[in-house]
Amino acid sequence: MFKNFSLYGLLFLIFSCETANSQQTTNTEVSKIVVIEIYKAISTGNDVTRGDTVSIRIEHFNTSGKLIYEYNEIPPINHSLAVNYIYDSLQQLTKSRYTTTNRGKERGFEVVYTHNASGQVEKEEFFKFNQPDNPYEWGHHRFDDSGKKRETLEASNYNIEPDTRHEYHYYPDGKMELEMLYDQFNNLGSYIEYGYDDKGNVAKKCTFDSRGELEKCDYRTYDNYNRLLTQGETHRQLKAGELPIRHNYYSYTDIDDSGDWGIKIKYLANSAGDKRPLEIWFRTETDKLD
């Protein structure tokens, strides 16, 4: 698969190696590097070839299998996002730092995580930098004794009281059933209802307004490796049986029988059900480069 790895991506890979290793983490040794290059897809008869670059993504994993660094580049608009993840001795995420560069301007924020005795994240604090218009945000998660997230409080602009509150409800088998969103006056704004397939994958995610009127539904199917195969979205104005406004299909070329793929193609279906390729993804995985 290295034949699809561009020099442009390689330069960023070398840069990201140096950046990731400079972080203060208990386990910074890079054991695996994953590179995903995404291109516009061009249909040539029965074949699909790559066109212009859409984005490049680089991921670094440590010897514990934790993601410690990622870099995302969108060359057409000169935009990038770099994220560093820092873990404690128990390999619990303690901090993540997000840095965006858009047309030469750098902004970002840090997220500091506090864990409870069971290892669940119970508090997140967001510290922004180079963003004087909105310099501080915070969020707080509440978990029950079984480790399920029950409530999220969020505030911004130095507000002491939360601006929004998320409330979570679960099916008897432990999967999330409802996510309720309330404003600062405890008025219901909207809620999300989840449905699952027989393997536990999210197969339906529907958003309703405060009156219970459907706003949109996202439907998904998966292959035997639980990889996304189809994704369709319907809105309230559509009648039953009509094709969703968007309906995406995905195909994979596997490296082996483990479910790791080397090439992924994203298709879009039109109103007649005909598919045309949108994007082609090339994935390369390698051990740490010396």
| Cβ neighbourhood burial of 137 (10 Å; 0-12, 13-18, 19+) | buried
CB atoms within 10 A of CB 280: 22
* Angstrom distance (rounded) from CA 82 to CA 96: 10
Within 8 A by CB and 6+ apart from 18, the residues are none
Global confidence as pTM: 0.76
Exposure letters 91-105 (e unless 16+ CB within 10 A, then b) = eebbbbbbbbeeeee
CA angle 181, 184, 190 (to 5 degrees): 20
Counting Cβ atoms within 10 Å, is residue 37 exposed (0-12), middle (13-18) or buried (19+)? buried
pLDDT tens digit string along 28-85? Answer: 889 999 999 999 999 887 889 999 999 999 999 999 999 999 999 998 888 999 999 9
pLDDT tens string 199-254: 999 999 999 999 998 888 999 999 999 999 999 888 765 555 554 566 899 999 98
CA 200 and chain centroid, separation? 18
